[in-house]
Structure 1
Amino acid sequence: MTLALAELLGTSQTWLALALLVFLRVGACFLVLPTIAEQYIPARVRLGAAVAMTVLLAPALAPSLTDSAARLDARIFFTEPLAGLLLGIAIRLMVHALQIAGSMAAQATSLSQIAGGAAPDPQPAIAGFLMLAGMALAVLLGLHVHVARMLLESYDILPAGEVPVAGDLATWGIGRVAASFRLAFSLAAPFLVASVLYNVALGVINKAMPQLMVAFVGAPAITLGGLAILFLSTPIILPVWMRMMQAVLAAPMTP
């Protein structure tokens, strides 16, 4: 009986150490992961989601992490949260691309002040709309499944207990931020092109008819045009963004 209890105690300690090892990475990732880390999600829900993901991943990772769990040391408490934050930030930057694209579109079409403070973070309504629609689309297309696969495969790229090389992290961070801004500019391109054409046309009309108050005539036109472009381009913007999101979920540490 004593031997059985000792064996059970040893097994339970190993599993608890393994669960802690996985939870450090999962919990840090869920701190910044889109949808689950939003301000309007209660902290208890975030914690419950992180624990549930840990329970799901721990048995699958047991064969490869048993040795790391057995020699649990202080370095693990630095490397695992760092790895989780890097993974979460890679996904968060994709959502920021939608926010930046929406802000650019709103500024270009004079829609930046419509419902600007309705969201937890002050932002134009178009940015909030695109972010909410993008996150809803990601959840509908199985974001949780992609995140679970990403966390499982992340131990091949970021092994437990190993500190990433600073130079590689710098290259990765610059590449991911640059890719986010490139995507944002591409998504907002229809609004920017329409804004350039509108301002050129307004300048020509003002030159031809100086006595006409073109600003009063043109302001409603650019607002209506911006809403029309939003209505027509959103079914194209969101699938393009979702493909890029799936690519990042498949390879989050690619610069």
Structure 2
Amino acid sequence: MELLSLNEALTGQIYAFMVIFSRVGTAFMLLPGFGDAYVSSRIRLLLALAITVVVQPILMPMLPPVPAGALGMTVLIVKESFIGVFLGTVTRLLTAALDTAGTLISMQIGLSNAFMFNPALASQGTLVGAYMGYIGVVLLFVTDLDHLLILAVVGSYEVFVPGAALPMGDFAEMTTKMVGQSFAIGAQMAAPFLAVGIMFNLAVGLLQKMMPQFQAFAVIMGGQVALGLALFAIVISATMLFWLRTVQDTLMGLLG
């Protein structure tokens, strides 16, 4: 009898670990800062394993009974992994706003052709976008917003109950909303540069109209870059604080 109870306990512990790790581990592959390309996959795996072990005793009562067969277990793990992908994607869209803002800023200050590798997106991006991406990740950890990322993953068990039917309609609606919000955040962050860029191009256009023989756009290009970089140095602090507040409000909304 004691041996049977021990086997049941071990089976329950292994089952709970597999189910919880399916969601937590998948989410950590995509979370900003944790899931970036420059972070070793071993570190991400060890961190996901450690968090799974810590939260397992708390989350075990929320888990459904052990499925009767392998098919039921596979379906449950796939569902949990899908929820982890959804959580990671939603939070990743918040950092995509930085690349959007950087692209818009680069277009306005004349650096749209300056590219470098953006580790947050694991692809080529504008120089300003990659720089803002670096700052964003550093600020996430300096201001302890990385704790909110972890809490959002753990708190998702109260919203998305393990074993329940996946609310695909809500997933699609939330993803669509976050894509639009990501672009809106990026546009708001680049708003000062859009306003200055419009006025600058208008002034240069009027100068070119009055002096057709003067190649205004070619001559003033250096001044455009200098003015843009000066404006960037002035507003970058307020811009990143605005982004941090947006990230915090969004994560708090996910926590309910």
Q: Same fold by TM-score, threshold 0.5 exceeded?
A: yes
Code of the aligned partner of 2:17: A
Q: How big is each residue's C-alpha offset from its partner over 1:18-45, in whole Å with a ceiling of 9 and x where there is no partner?
A: 1111100011111211111111112111
SS in 1 for 2:112: coil
- RMSD, aligned CA: 1.8
- 2:144 — aligned with what? 142
**Residues 1:58 and 2:56 aligned together:** yes
Code of the aligned partner of 1:30: F
Code of the aligned partner of 1:111: L
SS in 2 for 1:152: helix
Code of the aligned partner of 2:205: G
Distance in 2 of aligned mates of 1:93 and 1:199? 31
Matches within 5 A, 1:87-236: 87-114=87-114, 116-119=115-118, 120-236=122-238
- 2:36 — aligned with what? 38
Q: How big is each residue's C-alpha offset from its partner over 1:70-99, in whole Å with a ceiling of 9 and x where there is no partner?
A: 336232122101111111111100000111
Instruction: Tell me if structure 2 keeps the 8 A contact 1:87–1:253.
Output: no
SS in 1 for 2:125: coil
In structure 2, the CA distance between the partners of 1:64 and 1:165, relative to structure 1 (3 Å rule), is closer
- 1:20 — aligned with what? 18
Q: Across the two proteins, how many residue pairs are aligned to each other?
A: 249
Query: How much does 1:253 deviate?
Result: 8.6
Code of the aligned partner of 1:13: T
Scaled by the length of structure 1, the TM-score of the pair is 0.91
Specify every segment of 5 or more residues in structure 1 that has no aligned partner in the other structure, as ranges: none
- 1:48 — aligned with what? 46
Query: How much does 1:69 deviate?
Result: 5.0
Instruction: Tell me if structure 2 keeps the 8 A contact 1:106–1:124.
Output: yes
Distance in 2 of aligned mates of 1:143 and 1:14? 33
Distance in 1 of aligned mates of 2:161 and 2:170? 15
Distance in 2 of aligned mates of 1:169 and 1:202? 47
Bigger shift: residues 176-185 or 69-78: 69-78
